Amino acid sequence: MTKRTAPRPLSIRPVIALGSLLLVGSPQLQAQDYHLPDMGNSSDAILTTGAEARLGQAFMRHVRESLPVLDDPLLTDYIESLGNTLVAADPSATGRFNFFIIDQSVVNAFAGPGGNIGVYAGLILAAETESELAAVLAHEIAHLTQRHLLRTLEDQNKTLIPTMALMVAAAILGAQVSSDAGAAAIVGIQAASLQRQINFTRENEYEADRLGIMTLAKAGFDPYAMAGFFERLSKSSRAYENNAPEFLRTHPVNADRIAEALGRADVFGARQRPDSLRFHLVRAALRERSYKRPEQAVAYFRDTLREGRYRNVTAEHYGHALALMRTGQFDAARAALAEAMKSNAGLAEFIILDARLDLEQGQVERAVRTLKQAVALSPGSWPLRMAYAEALMKANRPASAIDELTTVARLRPGNPMLYDWLEQAALRAGHQAATHRFRAEKLYAEGEREPAIRQLEIALRQRDLPYHEAARIQARLESWKEEERESKRQNKRGVKP
């Protein structure tokens, strides 16, 4: 059931986006000035909390239409865990944050409305330490906590949410997708005008760097990692200067910005923090995915292991096992996994890979038992529960899979991928009403309220619908209908959402 987008050969190429790490320099640093800025500003009145959440939903719909969002539970769980660690260290961070990975090899990250922060696979691979990756996330979190995007939209406060989401998505994604996709995203909005309307200023970047370094230090990461990453990416970008898009040429990382980041880090001093094993495992998994042909991935890991060219031997064996499984060499993959498991056999990454090898070799019941035991030991691990549900589906137990996925839905409400899995399980189980209900939840999570309402209405018309289920669907339907009526009233009055 896990969706796998076609991996692309790794080509580290810095690309710039709205709210990305690589942006312009800033005013001269005053090392002692590291207090939080005044949080009150007129942007607070631009959108209500509910309207901003809907804007975030609409934005993510455009992101998913334009870019390959990686819906792998293990990889998503890691980036969420790292991001939430930083959010917890930032006293100004409130509300919901959504961290996700884009399955492309460019070196980039961006912050969008509704707490959405996207990180490219290429950036994770380019980060030499976990602190460098954390520096990118801390920078993007600061853009959101300081409401930089909404400040730039103050004069657009009567723009309807769908149009506003399209404008933001076009600005952020325009430099990163194909020309055809960029044209489709912009849909008649003049790119130059849009760039002027939604463009982070030098002051925004200065503030995001400053607060990001504070967050890094408070979370226990190395505050010098931001400057170090800036410098390496700046040197790397020079090789692509002639072919870089205009956006990149007008938003360089310069010596002043690097110096300012170093000065800010001096305030806190160096923090030595060992990289987590999960950081290395995620990089190994992304490296394996980056090869279009699995034989290339096998050769890469075989050579690095033989020559000792790796940062973490456990992760290198793990990547080798993933590559071997993709080629169908299951026994060899088990041997490589056994080498990786010598350090920590209880990691979810290893348990899930072991179970998937069982599934590939027809040992379905063994996989079910392994994952059931793992879930019992770690009931809060949603990647383990997702893998368990996948095994239950392979074992032709869709009703049990629904139970597991419903538990995950309580842990992670509003996740479109999860409701897609639930819809498939309900369809396999022959539960028509549940199939339409889960399809409705998926559409609603993606910001498609009217189609979601229609799906709930279809669900209510199903025969033999239990009373308690009908009551739950009816309550959900009335709530969504009221949201739709209120949205139409506001749009008709021409006021901000």
- Active-site amino acid positions: 140, 209
Ramachandran region of residue 16, left (φ > 0), alpha (ψ -120 to 50) or beta?
Answer: beta
Ramachandran assignment for 233, one of left (phi > 0), alpha (psi -120 to 50 degrees), beta (any other): alpha
Residue 62, annotated ligand binder? no
Phi–psi pair at 351, nearest 5 degrees: -60, -45
- Which residues touch 379 (CB under 8 Å, ≥6 apart)? none
Determine if residue 143 is labeled as part of a ligand binding site: yes
Question: Residue 110: helix, strand or coil by DSSP?
Answer: strand
Say which DSSP state 119 is in: E
**Which amino acid, residue 475?**
A
Tell me whether residue 205 is annotated as binding.
yes
Q: Report the alpha-carbon distance of residue 137 to residue 217 in Å, rounded.
A: 13
Instruction: Fill in the amino acid letter for 90.
Output: D
Place of tokens 């090789």: 239
Q: What angle do CA 238, 241, 246 make, to 5 degrees?
A: 135
CB 101 within 8 A of CB 124: yes
Q: What is the DSSP string of 469-495?
A: HHHHHHHHHHHHHHHHHHHHHHHHHT-
Residue 281 and residue 82: Cα distance in Å, rounded?
14
What is the chain's length? 497
Tell me the residue type at 44: D
Query: How far is residue 177's CA from residue 66's CA, in Å, rounded to a whole number?
Result: 7
Query: Binding site for Zn(2+), residues?
Result: 139, 143, 205
